[in-house]
Amino acid sequence: MAERRISRWYFGGIASCGAACCTHPLDLLKVHLQTQQQVKKRMMGMAVHVVKNDGLLALYNGLSASLCRQMSYSLTRFAIYETVRDMMGSSGPMPFYQKVMLGAFGGFTGGFVGTPADMVNVRMQNDMKLPADQRRNYKHAIDGLLRVLREEGVRKLFSGATMASSRGAMVTVGQLACYDQAKQLVLGTGIMGDNILTHFISSFIAGGCATFLCQPLDVLKTRLMNSKGEYTGVKHCLQETAKLGPLAFYKGLVPAGIRLIPHTVLTFIFLEQLKKYFGIRIIS
C-alpha cells in the first residue's frame, strides 16, 4: 500500500498569504513602476525614493489588501484547480492541455472574485505617489472596500475585472499548470525525488512562465484600477498604452519577474509543506 497526501481546498490561499508577506515590497515597487507615465526611475531608484520620502515601512503599504486579495483570488483559483485535478487525476497525471484548460478556468474565476481586493491593493500601494490632498488614505483593506462601495458604487469595485480575470487565467496557467508539468518531468527523470529541491526547480520554471504570459495584461489591469476616469474602458486603456510603444506593455517586467518568481517559489514550497504535514491522507 502506498500513501500520499493531497491539499485541502484552502491550502493555496494560506500558502499565497505567506508568500505575499515576503514579497509585498517587490509588488509595491512593481505597481509604482507600471503607473509611471514616463520612465523616470528604475527599480532601485524607486525603492530609494519610497524609503527616503515615506520611511521603510512604506514598502508594506497595502499589505492588508494584498492578504485580502490572496484569500479571495488565490484561494479560489487553487481550490478550483487542485480539487478538480485531484478528482480527475486519481488514475494518473492529467494531460498538459487539460491542466492548461483547468488553470485558465480557475484563474479566470479567481481573478474575478479577487478584483475588489486587487483594486484596493493597487490604490493603497500607489497612494503615497499622489499629492497629500488627493490621497485616498484607506485605513486598511476592509475600509477601502467599504469606502469604494459607498463613494463609487458596486460597479467601481469591479473596475478592471476583465483584465484581472484574463491576467488571473494566464498567471494560473503559468504557475499551477506549468508547475505540475515541470514537477512531473523532473520526477520522471528518476534523478530527483519529491523533495524541496524539486519543488524549487519546478516553481522557478513556473514563475518564469507566469511572468512572461501575464505581464501585458498586468500593466493594463494596474492602469485601469488606478485610473481616476481617464480611461473609458479596456479598449481605450489599450490604445493609450500602445501610444507609448510596444515595450510599454512590458514596463516593469524585471521587477515583475523579481517579485512573481520568488512569490511563486515561496507559494509552492509553503503549499508542499502544508500538504506534507497537514494534507488529506490517501492510501492506494
Residues 163-219 pLDDT 10s = 789 889 999 999 999 999 999 999 998 889 899 999 999 999 999 999 988 888 778
Q: Extract the C-alpha cell encoding 176.
A: 499551477
Which pLDDT score, from 0 to 100, does residue 35 have?
67
CA 186 to chain CA centroid, nearest Å:
25
pTM for this entry: 0.81
Mean pLDDT of the region 39-47? 72
**221 or 188, higher pLDDT:** 188
Torsion of the alpha carbons at 12, 13, 17 and 18, rounded to the nearest 10: -30
Percent of the chain with pLDDT over 70: 94
Mean pLDDT, the chain, integer: 86
Picking from 112-126, 166-180, 215-229, 267-281, which range would have the lowest pLDDT averaged per residue?
Answer: 215-229
Residue 37: which pLDDT band, with cuts at 50, 70 and 90?
A: low
- 127 pLDDT more than 80: no
Q: Residue 57 pLDDT > 90, yes or no?
A: no
- pLDDT tens track for 11-28: 999 999 999 999 888 877
Per the CB < 8 A criterion, the answer to whether 137 and 127 are in contact is: yes
Residue with cell 498567471: 171
Look at residue 267 in the predicted model and tell me its pLDDT: 97
Rounded CA separation 162/110 (Å): 12
Question: What's the whole-number mean pLDDT along residues 75-82?
Answer: 95
Residues linked to residue 6 through DSSP beta bridges, in sequence order: 280
CB 76 within 8 A of CB 110: yes
pLDDT: which is higher, 112 or 32: 112
CA gap 104, 110 in Å, rounded: 10
Average pLDDT for 119-139: 79
Of 14, 77, 19, nearest in space to 203 by CA? 19
Residue with the larger pLDDT of the pair 252 and 238: 238
Task: Give the confidence band of 272 by pLDDT, cuts at 50, 70, 90.
Answer: very high
The full 3-state SS of the chain, as one line of letters, equals: CCEEEECCCCHHHHHHHHHHHHHHHHHHHHHHHHCCCCCCCCHHHHHHHHHHHHCHHHHHCCHHHHHHHHHHHHHHHHHHHHHHHHHHCCCCCCCHHHHHHHHHHHHHHHHHHCHHHHHHHHHHHHHHHCCHHHCCCCCCHHHHHHHHHHHHCHHHHCCCHHHHHHHHHHHHHHHHHHHHHHHHHHHHCCCCCCCHHHHHHHHHHHHHHHHHHHHHHHHHHHHHHHCCCCCCCHHHHHHHHHCCCHHHHHCCHHHHHHHHHHHHHHHHHHHHHHHHHHCEEEEC
Residues 11 and 272 sit within 8 Å (Cβ to Cβ): no
> Which pLDDT score, from 0 to 100, does residue 21 have?
92
Asked whether the beta carbons of 74 and 67 are under 8 A apart, the reply is no
Cβ–Cβ < 8 Å for 157, 149: yes
Grid cell of 272 as nine digits: 508542499
Query: What are the structural domains of the chain?
Result: 3-283 (1.50.40.10)
Average pLDDT over residues 24-51: 74
Provide φ and ψ at 131, rounded to 5°.
Answer: -60, 155
Measured over the CA atoms of residue 250, residue 252, residue 255 and residue 260, the dihedral's sign is negative
Contacts of 257 (CB under 8 A, 6+ apart): 207, 208, 211
Q: Which residues pair with 281 in a beta bridge?
A: 5
Length of the chain: 284
Confidence tier at 38 by pLDDT (50, 70, 90): low
Q: Report the pLDDT averaged over residues 111-126.
A: 86
